[in-house]
Amino acid sequence: LQPGDTISFVINDDTKWYGDNTGKLTIAYSATAKATETVRKGKIVVNCDEWTLCNAGFQNSPDAATFVLNIAKYFVGEGKGKFHALSTHNALVESSLEQTLTKAGHTWTKGTKITVDLPTLSKYDAIFLAGDAVDNQVLIQYVKNGGKVYLAAGTGWGGAQPEADRWNTFLGEFGLKFAGQYDGTAGNLSPNQSHPLFAGVKSLYFHLGNPIIDLKPESPLNEIIQTHEGRGLIATAEFDPTAPRVIANLYNTGVDDARQVLGDSIEDPHYKLTTYPGATEIRSVTILTKFPVANTKTARWIGPNTPSVGDYSYTTTFTLPHFSEALIVGELSADDRITDILINGVSLGNPLPLSSWTTISKLSISKGFVVGTNTIEFKVHNSHGPTGLRIDSISGTYR
């Protein structure tokens, strides 16, 4: 049975089902109504500096209270949140912050005596952090289970680099990090980007924080939303369990594990020649032949150094830990021609033009995947002369 299933009760009153006036009850269920699960996104607000929410921050900037209420709304919407400051630092335990939240109807508690594990943190809608070290792996679990975190640095506790190190395992999981030095930013600074956190906020107070660095500027899930002279002051990150995740171990042809292009006549570590003419084993290496479709800074042609007429198969593998759907795309060229592409031994139905050594064809795979190790096989026929395969811009996602 699953949450939300409908259970139906069928009572049999036929005499063959009972004796001595004792009835028998038969229970059956049908999953005719499923409860709709609400997907909870984990959210993080990162501040380079702790002064913003302490009493001095409120005194220096009249908009600090509005900023705090915007954080609460970002975390819990229009509802009333249950928040806990897992800190002893004055950035989070002074009166202005507490009064602002409680007057708005939120619950605010503070202190470091609670157990730091997922069941305990999950009792709160959001955890506020500054100064005191907290197990980064527990924080990662908490956010991935829909928890919300406000994190402030710049406290001076232990020095700039130790303070950054205290949080960067946690932040790195969501595409951000603190720099290991305190900057010279100080005073009331105006937001320079539009964001719901800055609704009604004209300025916030900062004083010598750890600048924030965006490790994944291409990701829509994390962004630096306020900067000063190129340094990150405030950032957000989200974890969406329904968002596509990147397939990590897909590689272009002719590159090493760091995706750097290999030199000449070097064996490709990711694409293997598993079928080739003749009985002597040959390997796929980066080849010197100049094809109409040229090598690039991100991919090279691979093939046998001593090509023969016949059929070749190049295989590469990748991993899917779990998925409901997946997609792989890329660019493909082959000499002389692709005869088939298979995923886990099943043909995709010859999706590319027969002749592809003078052109770049688009590759797209959206079916045939399995949990665990997957194998893509590219079948190439060589009629004469050089032969090879070039895969470029290959990438994949799953959810």
C-alpha to C-alpha distance for 154 and 180, rounded to whole angstroms: 10
Going by C-alpha positions, the residue among 174, 248, 164, 179 that lies closest to residue 216 is 174
pLDDT at 382: 93
Report the distance separating Cα 318 and Cα 270, nearest Å. Answer: 10
Task: Please state, as a whole number, how many other Cβ atoms lie within 10 Å of the Cβ of residue 231.
Answer: 18
DSSP string over 62-130: TTHHHHHHHHHHHHHTTS--EEEE---SHHHHSHHHHHHHHHTT-EEEE-S-S--SHHHHTTSSEEEEE
97-133 per-position pLDDT tens digit: 999 999 999 999 999 999 999 999 999 999 999 999 9
pLDDT digits (tens, 9 = 90+) for 278-294: 877 778 888 877 888 99
**What whole-number percentage of the chain has pLDDT above 70?**
88
Of 139, 149, 209, the closest CA to residue 169 belongs to 139
Ranges under pLDDT 70 in the chain: 1-39, 350-355
> What architecture (CATH level 2) is domain 42-239?
3-Layer(aba) Sandwich (3.40)
Q: How far from the centroid of its chain's Cα atoms is residue 211's Cα?
A: 22
Q: How far apart are the first and last CA of the chain?
A: 24
Domain range summary for the chain, segments of one domain joined by +? 42-239, 245-398
Query: For the domain bounded by 245-398, which CATH number is listed?
Result: 2.60.120.260
